[in-house]
Amino acid sequence: MKFKTFAKTAGAVLMGGVVATAMTSTAQAEFPEKPIKIMVGFSAGGGTDTTARGFASYIHEAEAMNGMPAVIINKPGGSGMVAAKIVKDGEPDGYTLYMINSGSFAAAVMSAKGKAPVDPRKDFTNLGCISQLVTALTVHSSSPIKSAAEWVKHYKESGETVRWSTSGPATMHALIGHLFLDTNGIKHQVIPFQGGSKARGALVAQKVDASFNGVHLTAGFENEISVLGVPTAKRDPVNPDVPTFGEQGLPALKIAGPMCLWGPNGMPAETVAKLEAAVQHVSTVKGFNTFMSKSKLAAFHMTSAEGTEATQALFDTLQPVVDKISN
């Protein structure tokens, strides 16, 4: 009797273990079972928010997502660090993710001088990139100067100090502005604002001489703003008429900020693979590409490995700029 009882109990335990294992495997295989949250560390309306909302509108169409949608949660503060820390400290289950361009991510971390609450190089997994944030040198349309080369020549010869606006004291746009002006030997004074739209407003109101800001923010302001050039290696696909600095005989810089989806380290490999597949799929959707083009943002796909490499390159390029302006 004792043997039968033991055998029956052992069988039940074994069966329970098999069922539990099967249930666990099924649960893992069914990711996602609920909507995904994508944290955005900036206010609504900017380049990151626009890209995230466009992405969220089509992610459910990816086969890997089981028809599940994504919702955007704006949590501005700390140059994106507030939202990033929420994702880092959350469960690594793939349900709470973060979207930001790598240039802004790198700039925020470096500017914190070792006190940043997160670092994408050690705390996050890159899940792929779907767009890029492009900085542009812009002036008021009333200016007779129509190219970056002509602009540089004017200020170098006149010796005037350029007063320029940007989206914050240490954003990617700000660091590129410092790098461009210092490289070309131009005296300058930065006027940082809380956000690109406010920096644009200062230029439109002619309170500054120029602005280093996202080129997408010129949409709807073509009569007030002239774009003189961009620091990318190639022309921005959605702004093909804007020449690069390199094309104009100036130091090329070759900088852009890939807009990537990030998750906390420790996510299951299968979850990571599904999210990477979703990013790749959305980048090919015609509706997403149309939406991004209308927003003056380019849609493309960069793998997680490429996104990780691009992020490290931005750290390497911009760290000397941060060190200089911090002294």
User: Residue 312: inside a domain, yes or no?
Assistant: yes
Last-in-domain residue among 226, 248, 270: 248
Last-in-domain residue among 248, 271, 286: 248
Same domain, 123 and 265: yes
CATH of the domain at 73: 3.40.190.150
Q: What is the pLDDT of residue 30?
A: 87
| Residues 206-233: tens digit of each pLDDT | 999 999 999 999 999 999 999 999 999 9
Nearest to 41 by CA among 26, 51, 31, 55: 51
Cβ-Cβ contacts under 8 Å for 113 (sequence gap 6 or more): 326
Dihedrals phi, psi of 35, to nearest 5 degrees: -60, 150
Output 305 or 19, whichever has higher pLDDT.
305
Kindly tell me if the per-residue pLDDT of 283 is higher than 60.
yes
The answer to whether 166 and 198 are in contact (CB under 8 A) is no
Mean pLDDT of 172-196: 94
User: Residue 323: inside a domain, yes or no?
Assistant: no
Nearest to 299 by CA among 287, 289, 291: 289
User: Residue 100: inside a domain, yes or no?
Assistant: yes
Kindly tell me if the per-residue pLDDT of 25 is higher than 70.
no
Same domain, 242 and 291: no
Mean pLDDT of 321-326: 89
The answer to whether 250 and 312 are in contact (CB under 8 A) is no
Same domain, 119 and 205: no
Same domain, 140 and 76: no
User: Residue 265: inside a domain, yes or no?
Assistant: yes
Q: What is the pLDDT of residue 119?
A: 97
User: Residue 187: inside a domain, yes or no?
Assistant: yes
User: Residue 327: inside a domain, yes or no?
Assistant: no
Same domain, 236 and 103: no
Kindly tell me if the per-residue pLDDT of 304 is higher than 60.
yes
Last-in-domain residue among 209, 228, 248: 248
Nearest to 80 by CA among 38, 25, 129: 38
CA 96 to CA 71: how far, in whole Å? 10
Q: What is the pLDDT of residue 54?
A: 97
Mean pLDDT of 178-207: 95
Same domain, 55 and 126: yes
Q: What is the pLDDT of residue 212?
A: 97
pLDDT over 90 for what percent of the chain?
81
Same domain, 144 and 230: yes
Structure tokens of 185?
């030997």
Kindly tell me if the per-residue pLDDT of 262 is higher than 90.
yes
CATH of the domain at 219: 3.40.190.10
Nearest to 300 by CA among 312, 314, 315, 285: 285
Q: What is the pLDDT of residue 78?
A: 86
Mean pLDDT of 251-261: 96
User: Residue 52: inside a domain, yes or no?
Assistant: yes
Helix (H, G, I), strand (E, B) or coil at 69: coil
| Residues 81-105: tens digit of each pLDDT | 999 999 999 999 999 999 999 999 9
Same domain, 239 and 260: no
Same domain, 120 and 139: no
Mean pLDDT of 38-63: 93
pLDDT band at 29 (very low <50, low <70, confident <90, very high): low
Kindly tell me if the per-residue pLDDT of 122 is higher than 70.
yes
User: Residue 1: inside a domain, yes or no?
Assistant: no
pLDDT band at 23 (very low <50, low <70, confident <90, very high): very low
Same domain, 153 and 244: yes
pLDDT band at 167 (very low <50, low <70, confident <90, very high): confident
Range of the domain at 151: 135-248
In the block, residue with structure tokens 């709807």: 220
Q: What is the pLDDT of residue 233?
A: 95
The dihedral region occupied by 63, where left means phi > 0, alpha psi between -120 and 50, and beta the remainder, is alpha
Nearest to 255 by CA among 140, 121, 106, 111: 106
Mean pLDDT of 189-199: 90
Same domain, 220 and 274: no
Q: What is the pLDDT of residue 42?
A: 86
As for how many domains the chain has, the answer is 2
Mean of all residue pLDDT scores within the chain: 91
Same domain, 152 and 294: no
